[in-house]
Amino acid sequence: MIPVAEARARIVAALAPTGPENIGLDAALGRVLAADVAARRTQPPVAVSAMDGWAVRSADGAGPLRAIGESAAGRGFAGAVAPGETVRIFTGAPVPAGADAVAIQEDARHEGDLVHLADVPGPGRFVRPAGLDFATGDLLYSAPRRLGVRDIGLLAAADVPRIDVHRRPRIAVLATGDELVPPGLPRGPAQIVDAARPALLAFIEARGATAVDLGIARDDAADIATRAGRAAGADLLVTLGGASVGDHDLIARVLAGDGATLDFWKIAMRPGKPLMFGRHGDTPLLGLPGNPVSAFVCSLLFLGPAIERLSGLPGAAPRLAEVRLASPLGANDKREDYVRATLAPGADGIPLAQPAPVQDSSQLRTLALADALIQRPVLAPALPAGALVPAILLDQI
Ligand SMILES: Nc1nc2c(c(=O)[nH]1)N[C@H]1C(S)=C(S)[C@@H](COP(=O)(O)OP(=O)(O)OC[C@H]3O[C@@H](n4cnc5c(N)ncnc54)[C@H](O)[C@@H]3O)O[C@H]1N2
Ligand code: MOO
């Protein structure tokens, strides 16, 4: 059994980022930049007003000033403002030559051609200078970076309609087990519903990769090998189940006979001990345990970073937050433990974590209703209620 951090490091080190592709901004959300991006324009392109009011020369004082025209957004005033003059101006409109400030209309009285100011703006007041946000050639982003909603806005503003991003990783998923039947189909009395594969497919899509569903293989060497063969060309093959040592746990044996090599098999973690990693032909292979909670926790701790790495990012461990135990926890053994817990608001702002009383790795309900996974390091001592512990928050997952 190797430690969790070492397993993750070995997985990430064995994977290389996918190559670049050029895509439109409309498809950019969640994608990872493969090249730096510079602004292709200056924003704002000229000095513009931040308010509706009057463009003035601040040195003119309260006036009265003579109104000589109008500057609207997208349609500036062609002339210049001479001493004693003003131009009606609106938010986003170019500040005319000669003017150096804007008086907001609430502070101005307009009678015929004459404008009186109740409050005289200082130089630059309510003027957005050219390039306030960015200028042509400014480096906006260094690759790699996963693009969020705000990034789409900035790229659009910078007139960058297309970008180079890493190709979406293609992750092939193969479930195994004679007992598995997809949801909604007829089942024999000892059969169960395949729950881990739909969850895994959803996890992959949620992480910005493309899931390639290879279905459910029977506990049969030929079926497993045939289906695994269809993963050729994928960036990663993820198997589900059959990872342990039982007579019907065939993944390691079948794939080894089919040209797979294993880098490691079994990690010091609960749930998720029988995790395996290696290669099947040219395709990296991640073997997840079949217990659905184990499969999810392994996805979170290893597949997530693997997808990140394939996407061009570093492949970091999930972030840990601090929570406070609502009840005591026993001492831990040699396996790093991830304990399902619900969270309640704590008096001091630190959430109070209540571990589920039973932590069996078959129980999807306690997983779905959990708010956090408390991390228990190897050989952690027993802890009383009130102790602070690290946890992965599940609210975004
Ligand atoms: N003698 C030992 N037995 C087991 C060990 C061990 O070290 N020695 N490890 C245990 C641990 S820990 C785990 S985790 C499981 C992992 O086993 P497998 O990866 O071989 O998974 P299966 O045997 O195929 O299935 C385990 C369990 O999960 C159910 N399952 C499988 N796939 C799905 C699915 N897609 N959806 C829902 N449920 C699924 C399956 O029916 C089994 O109940 O091994 C322990 N045994
Ligand atoms: O690791 Mo298994 O995942 O303990 O049930």
Rounded distance between C-alpha atoms, residue 95 and residue 167, angstroms: 44
Name which of 134, 151, 135, 121 is nearest 60 in CA terms. 121
Q: What is the CATH number of domain 321-396?
A: 2.40.340.10
State mean pLDDT over 229-243: 95
pLDDT > 70 fraction of the chain, expressed in percent and rounded = 100
Ligand 2 touching residue 336 (CB < 6 A): no
Identify the pLDDT of residue 92: 97
Identify the pLDDT of residue 249: 79
Identify the pLDDT of residue 244: 85
What does the block give as tokens for 109? 């009285």
Ligand 2 touching residue 272 (CB < 6 A): yes
Could you tell me the distance, in angstroms and rounded to a whole number, from the CA of residue 258 to the centre of ligand 1? 22
Residue whose Cα lies nearest atom 10 of ligand 1: it is: 244
Which segments of the chain belong to CATH 3.90.105.10? Answer: 20-43+133-166
Ligand 1 touching residue 9 (CB < 6 A): no
Identify the pLDDT of residue 247: 80
Identify the pLDDT of residue 41: 98
Residue whose Cα lies nearest atom 16 of ligand 1: it is: 289
Identify the pLDDT of residue 253: 84
Of the pLDDT bands very low, low, confident and very high (cuts 50, 70, 90), residue 158 is: very high
Which segments of the chain belong to CATH 2.40.340.10? Answer: 321-396
- Is residue 369 pLDDT above 80, yes or no? yes
Residue whose Cα lies nearest atom 33 of ligand 1: it is: 290
pLDDT 10s digits, 84-122: 999 999 999 999 999 999 999 999 999 999 999 999 999
- Is residue 259 pLDDT above 90, yes or no? no
- Best residue for ligand 2 mutational test, from 291, 337, 340, 358 (most atoms within 8 Å of Cβ): 291
Ligand 1 touching residue 239 (CB < 6 A): no
Identify the pLDDT of residue 206: 96
- Best residue for ligand 2 mutational test, from 4, 240, 270 (most atoms within 8 Å of Cβ): 270
Q: What is the CATH number of domain 48-128?
A: 2.170.190.11
Identify the pLDDT of residue 258: 82
Identify the pLDDT of residue 260: 85
Ligand 2 touching residue 243 (CB < 6 A): no
pLDDT 10s digits, 282-302: 999 999 999 999 999 999 999
Residue whose Cα lies nearest atom 41 of ligand 1: it is: 179
- CATH class of segment(s) 20-43+133-166: alpha beta
pLDDT 10s digits, 20-65: 999 999 999 999 999 999 999 999 999 999 999 999 999 999 989 9
Residue whose Cα lies nearest atom 32 of ligand 1: it is: 290
Lowest mean per-residue pLDDT among 99-103, 167-171, 217-221: 217-221
State mean pLDDT over 322-350: 97
Ligand 2 touching residue 43 (CB < 6 A): no
- 215 φ, ψ (degrees, to nearest 5): 80, -160
Ligand 2 touching residue 242 (CB < 6 A): no
- 59 φ, ψ (degrees, to nearest 5): -70, -15
What does the block give as tokens for 7? 């397993």
Rounded distance between C-alpha atoms, residue 283 and residue 265, angstroms: 17
Residue 215 region, left (φ>0) first, then alpha (ψ -120 to 50), else beta?
left
pLDDT 10s digits, 173-202: 999 999 999 999 999 999 999 999 999 999
Name which of 209, 305, 341 is nearest 4 in CA terms. 305
Q: What is the mean pLDDT of the chain?
A: 96
Of the pLDDT bands very low, low, confident and very high (cuts 50, 70, 90), residue 165 is: very high
Identify the pLDDT of residue 240: 97
Identify the pLDDT of residue 88: 98
Looking at the CA of residue 251, tell me the nearest atom of ligand 1.
20
Looking at the CA of residue 274, tell me the nearest atom of ligand 2.
1
End-to-end CA distance of the chain: 28
Which segments of the chain belong to CATH 3.40.980.10? Answer: 4-16+168-310
Residue whose Cα lies nearest atom 4 of ligand 2: it is: 271
Q: Which ligand is nearest to the CA of 200?
A: 1
Which segments of the chain belong to CATH 2.170.190.11? Answer: 48-128
Domain 4-16+168-310 adopts which CATH fold?
A: Molybdenum Cofactor Biosythetic Enzyme; Chain A (3.40.980)
Rounded distance between C-alpha atoms, residue 340 and residue 367, angstroms: 6
Identify the pLDDT of residue 256: 82
- Is residue 396 pLDDT above 80, yes or no? no
- Is residue 350 pLDDT above 90, yes or no? yes
Rounded distance between C-alpha atoms, residue 295 and residue 362, angstroms: 10
